[in-house]
Amino acid sequence: MQGPERDKPETKTASGAASGDGSAATYDFMVVSNRLPVDRCAPGEHGDDGSGWRRSPGGLVTALAPMMTKTDGAWVGWHGAPDETVTPFSHGGMDLVPVQLSTDDVELYYEGFSNATLWPLYHDVIAPPEFHRTWWDSYRKVNRRFADAVVRHADHGATVWVQDYQLQLVPRMLREARPDLRIGFFNHIPFPPPEIFAQLPWRQAIIDGLLGADLVGFQRSSDAGNFMRSARRFLGASVKQQQVHVKGQNGDITHIARAQAFPISIDVRQVTELANKPEIIERARQIRQDLGNPKTILLGVDRLDYTKGIRHRLKAYEELLNEQKLTVGDATLIQVASPSRERVEQYRLLREEVEGTVGHINGTYDTIENTAVRYLHHSYPIEEMVALYLAADVMLVTALRDGMNLVAKEYVTARTGNDGALVLSEFAGAADQLKQALLMNPHDIDGLKDAVMRAVNMSPKEAARRMRSMRKQILDHDVDHWSADFLHALNEKVVRDDS
Instruction: Report how far Cα 417 is from the mean position of its chain's Cα atoms.
Output: 27
Question: What residues form DSSP beta bridges with 297?
Answer: 332
CB contact at 8 A, 175 and 183:
yes
> Is 302 part of the annotated catalytic residue set?
no
Distance, in Å, from the CA atom of 63 to the CA atom of 380, rounded to the nearest integer, reads 18
The one-letter code for the residue type at 35 is R
Distance, in Å, from the CA atom of 159 to the CA atom of 170, rounded to the nearest integer, reads 14
DSSP β-ladder status, 243-247 and 239-240: antiparallel
Helix, strand, coil percentages for the chain (3-state, nearest 5):
40, 20, 35
Residue tagged active-site, from 79, 153, 188, 477: 188
- Scored b (16 or more CB within 10 A) or e, 128-156 reads ebeeeeebbebbbebbebbbebbeebbbe
Smallest CA-to-CA distance from 160 within 64, 32, 63, 69 is with 32
Distance, in Å, from the CA atom of 421 to the CA atom of 386, rounded to the nearest integer, reads 15
Number of CB atoms found within 10 A of residue 196's CB: 17
Distance, in Å, from the CA atom of 474 to the CA atom of 329, rounded to the nearest integer, reads 34
Residues 6+ apart with CB under 8 A from 472: none
Residue tagged active-site, from 402, 477, 478, 481: 402
Distance, in Å, from the CA atom of 468 to the CA atom of 295, rounded to the nearest integer, reads 23
Distance, in Å, from the CA atom of 109 to the CA atom of 136, rounded to the nearest integer, reads 7
DSSP string computed for 8-50: -SS-B-TTSPBSSS-PPP-EEEEEEEEE-SEEE--TTSTT--S
What interhelical angle do 221-235 and 203-210 show, nearest 10? 120
> Is 132 part of the annotated catalytic residue set?
no
CB contact at 8 A, 266 and 406:
yes
Distance from the first to the final alpha carbon of the chain: 36
Question: What residues form DSSP beta bridges with 18?
Answer: 12
Three-state secondary structure call for residue 77: strand
Distance, in Å, from the CA atom of 263 to the CA atom of 112, rounded to the nearest integer, reads 28
Catalytic residues: 188, 402
